[in-house]
């Protein structure tokens, strides 16, 4: 079996496509179940964030796996396969491991170095464990990715290369001013109480907002977030929770709104925003759109899958991406800002037409993507890349060594059975042996067998961990005439260990 990932992200697809392809929680669960039901896959995990959708699987056939995973992504995202395919990337085996480890370190994030991705990877693993779609390979892979990400943040200054998406978004709202000075004394409305909204609320509280109001469809979660905000030692913010039905009234009092919900439709329409500000949307001046050329990301190895005669034909290394991507960004209305809007949801929570309303400044995922293209890169990024490369090599060695482990266990089990059989035969021939003599003979025979097996089993694990070492397990089975069913039984027992892959 082999690791395969098929996905799309802000690096490969425009925000409009990512927005349409976003997966709700129940859709992710159905995608995982359908992937496992597909012939090429035995394990599956989904990593879905505001700027990426990736499907990981352990497959037995590469081309069939690419075709099946691509088709499943299209079916569950609602974006047609022919339209989705040009934006998909494919990574296989070590390249797939390298990709996830880079993602975990924040190297592939919209804002390089942000740490929120670790929580999202942890959630993806938990979902796969809960639905029993993540087996040995994906448990090991995602657990290792979390360790690699934590190592990168603790051993390097990758955090200095960028900020969280929330912090970066607030910087864009501040439009060049110091975010803390800009936010001080403002009244903020946070819509949603998930991980991103919670981070936004905490960030606003730390920057000196006078009040943070939290609105959420489940009131208890909003209440809990408010309780956490009020318990913070480093903030003195006033915080309160409201029902979603009160959002309209709160808009009339808010200076800053941050929205990140799981809604599939708009949470704030342009009409609702215009009403809150007491202006007429139709009379608001519409600023002309600005076409910008977004620089392509550096050093990105993209594997492209394409459609041929209506089906996925192949996946090949396409080399570095060099072509710039042209995007159209609506210009913001001019004049003083009465209401600053930060939309971190995918699909979007806030109507894009809000930019037409006088006194409104809107920053969303698309504008953040454009702004982050010019964000400075820290020297620590090179160090993180080295860590990722080292960890990929270590993961590959561990997986190859794990592949031979069931064979070694089966060999030692067979040897133990042989010893037990010979001791039983000895009991028949020498029935007068006392317990002490019998125990000494048994221990001696076991020591002989252990010493004979020690060197070859240790050596075969070392050889199997090296590139191209997968054949040593097969050789060991042939040399000792081991029953393949016994080896498979050892593998299943290890896979079903309830303590495996959990932290």
Q: Which residues are catalytic?
A: 50
d(CA 325, CA 319): 17
∠ CA 357-358-361, nearest 5°, is 75
Beta-carbon contacts of residue 265 (< 8 Å; ≥ 6 apart): none
Region at 145 (left for phi over 0; alpha for psi -120 to 50; beta for the rest): alpha
Query: What does residue 481 show for φ and ψ, rounded to 5 degrees?
Result: 50, 50
* 148 alpha-carbon distance from chain centroid: 13
Residue ranges of alpha helices (H) inside 105-183 are 116-130, 136-155, 165-174, 179-183
> Is 178 exposed, middle or buried, given 0-12, 13-18 or 19+ CB atoms closer than 10 A?
exposed
∠ CA 293-324-287, nearest 5°, is 20
Q: Which residues of 181-202 are buried (b: 16+ CB within 10 A; e: fewer)?
A: ebbeebbbbbbbbeebbbbbbb
Query: What is the DSSP-derived secondary structure letter of residue 287?
Result: P
> Is 252 exposed, middle or buried, given 0-12, 13-18 or 19+ CB atoms closer than 10 A?
exposed
Q: Are 85 and 307 in contact (CB under 8 A)?
A: yes
∠ CA 467-470-471, nearest 5°, is 120
Q: Are 280 and 270 in contact (CB under 8 A)?
A: no
**What are the CA-CA distances from residue 258 to residues 167, 173, 241, 362 (Å)?**
12, 11, 14, 10
Beta bridge partners of 343: 259, 364
The three-class DSSP label of residue 49 is: strand
d(CA 40, CA 198): 39
């Amino acid at each position: 079996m082999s690791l395969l990932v098929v996905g799309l992200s802000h690096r490969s697809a425009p925000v409009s496509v990512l927005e349409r392809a976003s997966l709700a929680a129940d859709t992710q669960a159905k995608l995982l179940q359908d992937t496992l039901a597909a012939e090429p896959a035995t394990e599956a995990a989904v990593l879905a964030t505001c700027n990426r959708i990736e499907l990981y699987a352990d497959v037995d056939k590469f081309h069939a796996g690419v075709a099946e995973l691509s088709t499943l992504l299209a079916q569950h995202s609602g974006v047609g396969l022919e339209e989705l395919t040009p934006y998909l990337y494919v990574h296989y085996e070590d390249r797939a491991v390298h990709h996830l480890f880079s993602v975990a370190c924040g190297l592939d994030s919209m804002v390089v170095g942000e740490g929120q991705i670790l929580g999202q990877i942890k959630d993806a693993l938990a979902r796969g464990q809960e639905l029993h779609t993540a087996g040995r390979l994906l448990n090991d892979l995602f657990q290792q990715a979390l360790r690699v990400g934590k190592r990168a943040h603790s051993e390097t200054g990758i955090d200095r290369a960028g900020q969280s998406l929330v912090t970066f978004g607030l910087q864009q709202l501040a439009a060049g001013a110091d975010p803390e000075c800009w936010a001080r004394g403002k009244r903020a409305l946070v819509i949603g109480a998930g991980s991103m909204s919670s981070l936004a609320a905490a960030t606003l509280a730390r920057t000196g907002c006078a009040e943070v109001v939290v609105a959420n469809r489940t009131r208890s979660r909003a209440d809990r977030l408010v309780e956490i905000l009020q318990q913070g030692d480093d903030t003195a913010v006033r915080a309160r929770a409201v029902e979603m039905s009160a959002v309209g009234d709160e808009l009339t009092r808010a200076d800053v709104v941050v929205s990140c919900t799981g809604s599939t439709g708009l949470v704030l329409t342009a009409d609702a925003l215009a009403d809150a500000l007491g202006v007429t949307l139709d009379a608001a001046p519409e600023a002309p759109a600005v076409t910008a050329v977004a620089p392509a990301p550096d050093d990105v190895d993209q594997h492209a899958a394409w459609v041929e005669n209506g089906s996925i034909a192949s996946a090949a290394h396409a080399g570095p991406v060099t072509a710039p991507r042209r995007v159209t960004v609506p210009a913001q209305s001019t004049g003083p800002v009465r209401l600053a809007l930060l939309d971190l949801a995918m699909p979007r929570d806030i109507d894009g037409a809000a930019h037409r309303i006088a006194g409104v400044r809107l920053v969303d995922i698309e504008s953040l993507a454009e702004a982050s293209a010019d964000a400075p890169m820290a020297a620590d990024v090179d160090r993180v890349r080295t860590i990722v490369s080292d960890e990929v090599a270590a993961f590959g060695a561990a997986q190859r060594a794990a592949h031979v482990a069931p064979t070694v266990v089966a060999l030692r089990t067979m040897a133990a059975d042989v010893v037990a059989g010979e001791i039983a035969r000895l009991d028949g021939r020498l029935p007068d042996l006392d317990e002490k003599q019998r125990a000494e003979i048994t221990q001696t025979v076991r020591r002989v067998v252990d010493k004979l097996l020690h060197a070859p089993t240790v050596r075969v694990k070392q050889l199997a961990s090296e590139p191209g070492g997968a054949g040593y397990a097969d050789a060991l089975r042939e040399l000792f005439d081991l029953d393949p069913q016994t080896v498979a039984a050892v593998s299943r027992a290890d896979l079903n260990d309830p303590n495996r892959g959990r932290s």
